[in-house]
Amino acid sequence: MSIDWTSSHAPALAGEIAVPGDKSISHRAIMLAALAEGCSRIDGFLEGEDTRATARIFADLGVRIETPNASRRIVHGVGLHGLRGAARPLDCGNSGTCMRLLCGVLAGQAFDSTLVGDESLSRRPMRRVTEPLAAMGARIDSGEGGVPPLRIAGGHRLRGIDYITPVASAQVKSAVLLAGLQADGETEVREAHPTRDYTERMLAAFGWPIAFEPGRARLAGGHRLRATDVVVPADFSSAAFFLVAASIVPGSRLLLRAVGLNPRRTGLLQALRLMGADIREHAPRELGGEPVADLEVRHARLRGIDVPVELVPDMIDEFPALFVAAAVADGITRVRGAAELRVKESDRIAVMAAGLRRLGIPVEETPDGASITGGRLAGGEVDSAGDHRIAMSFAVAGAVAAGPVRIGDCANVATSFPGFVDLARAIGMAVAEG
């Protein structure tokens, strides 16, 4: 079902809010808890369609998962070899993380599996995981051009690999490491640009011996995962929309509670500060082994920057929001080294550029980025291309645009941020369905 939004001019934004749990951590928590021996409790689980798809798939694979209340799961782990094959294809919905990490989990199992996804996921590149897994001995067939559906043939013995990732991708790294759990010998992954290390941290928390540092992780097969409880911090990527919104709406002051600040996720914080944003961290602490803090953000005048290329992997999901900040900043913001944006839930460079142009902002596209000349956003109609982060970014744009911004195809916001509209309204944004 298609849902459109209209986002209109907002007065100063104000309030104290908590955004939902981290998507990356929620996926991994279900997966590792399912593969562990014993019963694990997950608190702060993201009730999004993506992470629910992962939970549903493990239920299909024979894992008992209870939901005593929202944002909590009790997972009765079956051990590394306790999954059983599902009779039907496993539906990953819109979620690249679900599909790519599952490839790693299922490549070494005794049974066959088929992974399918929605229209967007069915266009996304999977060779980046099927190739290294094939080098480990897995047998995975894909659709033409290396896209889903993926058919994983069970019963193939895996061997460890020393793999240098050709793209900065935590999903690829994680798929290889998860396959490495069931492989003979050592598996090592090296990356030129370090990516989020949640899989490594969580494997250690579940008792699997692993050595890791930024850009490198190494483990050996033949151990066991032991159940443990996981506390999921608030998702920085969801907080990002409100960080930008309060930065650009005059007179705003917001407090975002207990936001996850893993250094591999917070590139946007650095980029916004380089642009002149006023964002302060209060009460830094640890939650579930992750650094968190309350973020206080106030309106500030922003200026365009050349986004440092070394920040790109640390803010890869935040570019749609950054593009909106750039659209109202003084001067030009240049992004490069971000070709990966073209293979996300949509081609985020093309879709953001098209939308911003419709709102009167000059944007020049390059193969790996864009130049955005800040100005005055006009009202108008834009298409999110079914991409959750683009829908939410244009909702933020509407708060400062001269007229209402009508955003097409917003239903997929439920994949990562159910309740976005209610929270946005609670702080004073004027977002309405229809």
CB proximity list for 369: less than 8 A, separation 6 or greater: 334, 335, 336, 337, 338, 339, 341, 349
Is 182 assigned a ligand-binding role in the annotation? no
One symbol per residue from 325 to 354: x for binding ligand S3P (CB under 6 A), - otherwise; what is it?
---------------x--------------
Contact set for ligand S3P, span 189-208 (CB under 6 A)? 196
Residue 46 within binding range of ligand S3P, rule CB under 6 A: no
Residue 188 within binding range of ligand S3P, rule CB under 6 A: no
Residue 283 gets the label, from left (phi > 0), alpha (psi -120 to 50) or beta, of: left
3 state DSSP class of 141: strand
* Interface residue with ligand S3P, options 26, 54, 97, 238 (CB under 6 A): 97
Residue 169 within binding range of ligand S3P, rule CB under 6 A: yes
Q: Tell me if residue 317 is catalytic.
A: yes
Following CA atoms 407, 412, 418, 423 in sequence, which dihedral angle do they give, to the nearest 10 degrees?
Answer: -10
Is 191:199 a contact under the CB 8 Å cutoff? no
By beta-carbon proximity to ligand S3P, the closer residue of 55 and 249 is 55
With contacts defined by CB under 6 A, name the span among 11-19, 163-171, 273-281, 303-311 that binds ligand S3P. 163-171
Is 348 assigned a ligand-binding role in the annotation? yes
Query: Cβ 46 to ligand S3P, closest distance in Å?
Result: 11
By beta-carbon proximity to ligand S3P, the closer residue of 212 and 429 is 212
Is 425 assigned a ligand-binding role in the annotation? no
What count of other Cβ atoms lies within 10 Å of the Cβ of residue 91?
18
Alpha-carbon gap, residue 243 to 248, rounded angstroms: 9
With contacts defined by CB under 6 A, name the span among 52-60, 169-177, 281-289, 297-305 that binds ligand S3P. 169-177
Which residue's entry shows tokens 């944006």?
341
Residue 317 within binding range of ligand S3P, rule CB under 6 A: yes
Q: Radius of gyration of the chain from Cα atoms?
A: 21
DSSP state, 22?
Answer: P
Is 96 assigned a ligand-binding role in the annotation? yes
Residue 103 within binding range of ligand S3P, rule CB under 6 A: no
Q: How many residues of this chain bind ligand S3P (CB under 6 A)?
A: 10
Which residue's entry shows tokens 């907002």?
10
Q: 236 burial class (0-12, 13-18, 19+ CB within 10 angstroms)?
A: buried
**Secondary structure of the chain: what % helix, strand, coil (to 5)?**
35, 30, 35
**Phi–psi pair at 369, nearest 5 degrees:** 170, -155
List 50, 317, 383, 409, catalytic entry: 317
3 state DSSP class of 406: strand
Is 169 assigned a ligand-binding role in the annotation? yes
With contacts defined by CB under 6 A, name the span among 167-175, 209-217, 293-301, 377-385 that binds ligand S3P. 167-175
Which residue's entry shows tokens 């070494």?
108
Residue 316 within binding range of ligand S3P, rule CB under 6 A: yes
In the structure encoding, which two tokens stand for residue 53, read together? 């798809």
Query: Cβ 55 to ligand S3P, closest distance in Å?
Result: 15
Which residue's entry shows tokens 């990516």?
195
Alpha-carbon gap, residue 208 to 227, rounded angstroms: 11
Residue 239 within binding range of ligand S3P, rule CB under 6 A: no
* Interface residue with ligand S3P, options 7, 13, 19, 24 (CB under 6 A): 24
Query: Cβ 198 to ligand S3P, closest distance in Å?
Result: 7
Which residues are known catalytic residues? 317
Residues interacting with ligand S3P, by CB under 6 A?
24, 97, 169-171, 174, 196, 316-317, 340
Q: Which residues are annotated as a binding site for phosphoenolpyruvate?
A: 23, 96, 124, 171, 348, 389
